[in-house]
Structure 1
Amino acid sequence: MPNNLIINNLVSKVATETLPLFSKSTAIYLIIALGATMLSYILLNSFWKLFKKDKYKGVRFTTKNIAYITMLSSVSVVATIIISITIPLTVLPPIRIAIEGLMIKITGYLFGPVIGIICAAVTDILVTLFVPSYISPVYMFCIVFTGFLAGVAGILNVKLKNYPWIIFILINIFIIFFAGGGAYIVLCSDQSSYSVSGINFNKYATAGIIAGGGAFALLSIYSVLFYYLWQRQSERIKEILPIILLAVVAEYVVTVLIASYADMTLFSSNVKEYGLTAMARIIMAPFKIIVNSIIIYITWRTVSPLINIDNNNY
């Protein structure tokens, strides 16, 4: 019995004090690591383009491609500006980034990581110039990495087209890890209640909502895949899985882990606010994943047949 008590106390202490899933240091290290990853990819891509032109697999900057990229970026900027003027609340960075991110994800998914980064940076700068708002380099990093992430998802769509089970496993790992990990941390924490959109929940209800949200997201994904299997539309499954993975990773990594840190640095100096903000975001994540997947997939299905990209399959 004493041994069990010691183990329980140790697990609780590790979960509440040292487990870095929802901590300020995690966000900082993650920004550094992801920033280094983007820089490494750009340098490697530039090397192949300059010195190994015969083996270069990226999108070419032809007149046609530049026109497509400019058009999609313009749509993103104009749509965000119009929505921000119509609904003033959307000038807040978390909401503005969610709106900007939709077309940026489409552009990155179509043209690859480098174009996704450029489109995201240009779009965010132009929107900030025309619609003054809170400015934070962390928010800009969020939108830029979203463009990069969309490009990576586009590569997976090409490279793993005949191996959709790999993408399916990755989707399950991310959702189970964040939903299960978030629920576990809530149960082991000393925080007795959590506030989400002004509504207070005790920690057991919060853990249940987080775990239930993850289960709901997985059930929704399974239902869609089962429907396409039943309809014998395997190609649709291959098309939609990379987009779902993009929505899942963007929501949990960018929105939950990094954007929560941006919220904390912008609106509060209290370190504890990071965990509370992250928890609120992780509760909303499953629903946003479903909505984002639907919008991105429908938009991609509409736009992609109209665009003939000059590339070599990335």
Structure 2
Amino acid sequence: MGPVLPARTREFARRMIAALDIKATGPGQPVSGLSGGNQQKVVIARALAREPAVLVAVRPTNGVDVKSKDALLGVVRDVADGGSGAVLVSDELDDLRVCDRVLTVFHGRVNAAFGAGWRDHELVAAIGFGMNDSGVLARLVADLDVDVVLCAGRWTLLERTTLDDLLPVCARRGTSVVVGGVYNSGLLAAPSPGARYDYAPAPPELLARARRLVAVCDEFGVPLKAAALQFPFGHPAVAAAVVGAAAPEEMAENAALFHHAVPDALWHALVVRGLLDAGLPLPLNDCP
């Protein structure tokens, strides 16, 4: 049994179920039992129940089908047409087409404004692709006009296949590379038994190699994570690295690791000991 609702609330719930096409057994069904898309609709319905002077909808169509997306955006439009304010925050261009005015925000500041009738190319600053298959990305960069690519786990201290395909074509075409997975699923963050590599348990030979990397880094007083994070930037096509964080403290740690001093002698030592190939582009401090 669901909770007993006051008649007025139950009636409003029924109207929202019909208006937003919420797939539910009735007003008493727990929201936790709904699909993600239907839960998104309930969020909008709850906001409307308060009859807000200004409705703020953040990515209101996230996870819903096309029909439901149109219904949700129609609700936002109806709120605005009814005399109330409506603020829609989204990175989906189709969401923004119902807006009278679109503001683009970068680093917390409004940097452009567009009235109704804007074109896609006015709002899209860059187009790119992301995956962990560097060969596919290389073909996309070679054949299409791509601004940026995100490649995960293929330009690291342990795996460098991008040097054979993706990085050369990006350098030639002027395409920026964002490197993800610099720790190779965690092996380069904590190379201990049970560590994972490429989303699976790390093979023994790779675990041994990661431990050799730790030993050399220790000689120079450099955390392995700092070396792993900074290594990709030796190639001129690399513009950024994506590092996950589950808490503010981890974000602060990532920033500190990125700025941790890594002597050139460490990179040279890794080459001499066979842990990095000779001729690799390295993030040296004495580069001209």
> Per the shorter chain, which TM-score range?
under 0.3
More helix by share: 1
Q: Tell me which of the two structures has the higher relative contact order, counting C-alpha pairs closer than 8 angstroms and 6 or more residues apart.
A: 1
Query: Normalising to structure 2: TM-score of the pair?
Result: 0.23
More strand by share: 2
Higher-Rg structure is: 2
